[in-house]
């Protein structure tokens, strides 16, 4: 078992022209999971990439592929992302009326199932699917873009989700504006997986290890 919190760099902030090399660099720099943001230009106002790109970079690392699906509907694409090599597949509670069915589908594909909630969505929206999920992703910005400012009310939401989960073996992940400055309060509130894009992919790749360590809460040399 890896030490907590886990850090999952979001490749949204990487150099897409060198995606494979960037993933290798964060792997070597101590990333625990690799966070892949899938955006459809419909559920969110931005478009990234699909299962073919996930498949193309699957061979460069053995780390967990944490696939954040910001697409609606998600169901028609679950199988393709599973085949492409996703390990954790997270769907948004806001992405469709049949969240329970989507999560059942992910479990049936043999993958870890995650459910994400946007900043405006109350945690009660996921109360009745908790027995189907391995991960709850609390969005700490509005989804769609990297480099946005952290929403402070998210800390209290993480605390509420932590209480709601109780003794269930579910990890809480946070995503958006997570940095060395914002991470400590989130970890104290119960977050165990820290997604960070712009806080990791800044400066030279030689600095990625220090950037990851700083988000994790490890100060000084690495
Ligand atoms: O899901 C996301 C955006 O919708 C990204 O994972 C997130 O924005 C990471 O970027 P940053 O750490 O720069 O905020
Ligand atoms: Fe994300």
- 3-35: pLDDT as tens digits: 889 999 999 999 999 999 999 999 999 999 999
| Residue 198 annotated in ligand binding | yes
* H runs (alpha helix) in the chain: 19-28, 51-57, 78-84, 99-108, 154-165, 183-189, 208-216
Spatial distance between the Cα atoms of 173 and 194, rounded to a whole number of angstroms: 6
71 backbone dihedrals φ, ψ, rounded to 5°: -135, 150
How far separated are the first and last CA of the chain, in Å rounded? 20
What is the model's pLDDT at position 218?
A: 82
pLDDT tens across 145-185, in order?
A: 999 999 999 999 999 999 999 999 999 999 999 999 999 99
Q: What pTM was estimated for this model as a whole?
A: 0.97
Q: What is the ipTM of this complex?
A: 0.98
Residue nearest to atom 2 of ligand 1 (CA): 143
Q: Average pLDDT, whole number, for the chain?
A: 97
Whether residue 187 contacts residue 5, with contact meaning beta carbons closer than 8 Å, is answered with yes
Ligand 1 pocket (Cβ < 6 Å) reads: 10, 12-13, 35, 37, 68, 141, 143-148, 175-178, 195-199
| Residue 41 annotated in ligand binding | no
| Residue 35 annotated in ligand binding | yes
Domain ranges of the chain: 6-216
User: What's the farthest any 2 CA atoms get from each other in the chain?
Assistant: 48
No. of helices (H) and no. of strands (E), the chain = 7, 8
Spatial distance between the Cα atoms of 78 and 97, rounded to a whole number of angstroms: 16
Catalytic residues: 37, 175
Identify which ligand lies nearest to the alpha carbon of 144.
Answer: 1
Decide if pLDDT at 207 tops 60. yes
143 CA to centre of ligand 1 in angstroms: 7
pLDDT range class, residue 57, cuts 50, 70, 90: very high
Mutate to test the pocket of ligand 1, among 149, 176, 182, 215 (most ligand atoms within 8 A of CB): 176
Spatial distance between the Cα atoms of 39 and 50, rounded to a whole number of angstroms: 8
Mutate to test the pocket of ligand 1, among 22, 175, 186, 211 (most ligand atoms within 8 A of CB): 175
> Taking the domain 6-216, which CATH number applies?
3.20.20.70
219 CA to centre of ligand 2 in angstroms: 25
| Residue 124 annotated in ligand binding | no
């Amino acid at each position: 078992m890896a030490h907590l919190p886990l850090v999952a760099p979001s490749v949204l902030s990487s150099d897409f022209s060198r995606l494979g090399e960037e993933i290798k660099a964060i792997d070597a720099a101590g990333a625990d999971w690799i966070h892949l943001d899938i955006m459809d230009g419909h559920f969110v106002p931005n478009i990234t990439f699909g299962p073919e790109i996930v498949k193309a970079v699957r061979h460069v690392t053995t780390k967990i592929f944490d696939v954040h699906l910001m697409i609606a509907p998600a169901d028609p694409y679950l199988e393709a992302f599973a085949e492409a090599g996703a390990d954790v597949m997270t769907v948004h509670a806001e992405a469709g009326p049949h969240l329970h069915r989507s999560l059942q589908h992910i479990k049936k594909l043999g993958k870890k199932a995650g459910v994400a909630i946007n900043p405006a969505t109350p945690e009660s929206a996921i109360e009745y699917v908790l027995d189907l999920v391995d991960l709850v992703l609390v969005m700490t910005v509005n989804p769609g873009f990297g480099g946005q400012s952290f929403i402070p009310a998210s800390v209290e939401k993480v605390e509420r989700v932590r209480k709601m989960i109780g003794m269930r073996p579910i990890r809480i992940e946070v995503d958006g504006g997570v940095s060395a400055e914002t991470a400590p309060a989130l970890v104290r509130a119960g977050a165990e997986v820290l997604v960070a894009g712009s806080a990791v992919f800044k400066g030279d790749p030689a600095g990625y290890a220090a950037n990851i360590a700083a988000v994790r809460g490890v100060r000084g040399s690495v």
